[in-house]
Structure 1
């Protein structure tokens, strides 16, 4: 058997490799990388990728801090959390809003800013909307251990607008339901509080 090189997990984004790759893409397109408007594009794109894919190098579980409060077993809802992500199929953006509802267990809650950080970290990776939705829900389940979680993601996908079928204006909605949120009456309460799609 041939010795196979073990791939080492990268600890940060390789800015120089991205810069060189962009130069190669521009050259393959037949454009002039040295023209006035484009000569600094490889560096700018590398810096942009470092920012918009920064979630690759964060442990999302560390974004969730737990707090204990008395008699806290009522539903907690965050609506219209804005996000931007990149579809891993074509590296084109998709963006929109995340809605989160959860019911704490054992008086354990997390800060609102922690929920925003979870969305931010998970969206700043090559993603697909379906996985982003379940990743958010499963992160909250594993860290908060709540009675139930409901996550809804509403998005616009530029890969549907700019290429292929080319249907601007199409919105996509995905959901993940965990725990007691699977009960119709509980889920209905969460959906009424979220009012997804009604006032944006």
Structure 2
């Protein structure tokens, strides 16, 4: 068992042993034998994977967006097709897709583009619903960069739709959050939407 796994779990007042025992219980619940060869290390692997997939809880959006740079630009800054993976809080199944983020700089300050991608990870790597994920990304950029406007569109394919329930394989969910000038100005919103569909 890795030391990172032990450290991450103990910080939440749950031991690694308790977590892996819970997974063994789930394996028995579905009729499996956690002592068979193929499953011997599965509880530990599952718990380590879960910690890795929810690293966003340990990340601070304010720190990520703290470093800005001077710029004369007041035009739209757009980063599109930012890949993400998340876990649906209703079923603990994955949903994945891409996010598109734009902001209108204010006060002569811009942020490095990699920071926008990292903000997506901050919130995607938590138990989520896509609607809240979209709003959290937009609200963080709005709060810490204080731009004239923020636009976020997230497109996701949800395992809970594909592998269970209605089992619709080609359904894509699209959510958006428009703040500031992107909410107030149809022209700004239309420019953003036209650019992300190119």
Instruction: With the length of structure 1 as denominator, give the TM-score of the two structures.
Output: 0.89
CA-to-aligned-CA distance 1:96-115 (integer Å, 9 cap, x gap): 00000110110111111111
Aligned to 2:33: 32
Gaps of 5+ in 2: 1-9
Aligned to 2:196: 194
Contact 2:154 2:175 in 1 (8 A): yes
2:197 aligned with 1:185, yes or no? no
**2: CA distance, partners of 1:16 / 1:137:** 38
**1: CA distance, partners of 2:71 / 2:133:** 32
Aligned to 1:67: 68
Runs of 4+ residues deviating >4 angstroms: none
**2: CA distance, partners of 1:165 / 1:193:** 33
Q: Secondary structure at the match of 1:65?
A: coil
Contact 1:80 1:97 in 2 (8 A): yes
CA-to-aligned-CA distance 1:27-77 (integer Å, 9 cap, x gap): 112211011111110000011011001111222221113324242211000
Instruction: With the length of structure 2 as denominator, give the TM-score of the two structures.
Output: 0.90
Deviation at 1:17, TM superposition (A): 2.9
Backbone CA RMSD of aligned residues: 1.5
Contact 1:81 1:99 in 2 (8 A): yes
**1: CA distance, partners of 2:123 / 2:13:** 16
The answer to which structure has the higher helix fraction is 2
Gaps of 5+ in 1: 1-9
Deviation at 1:12, TM superposition (A): 4.6
Aligned to 2:90: 89
Deviation at 1:120, TM superposition (A): 0.9
Aligned to 1:133: 134
Deviation at 1:11, TM superposition (A): 3.7
Residue 108 and residue 66 in structure 1: after superposition, are their counterparts in 2 closer, same or farther (change >3 A)?
Answer: farther
Q: Secondary structure at the match of 1:27?
A: helix
**1: CA distance, partners of 2:64 / 2:18:** 29
Q: Secondary structure at the match of 2:37?
A: coil
Contact 2:64 2:118 in 1 (8 A): yes
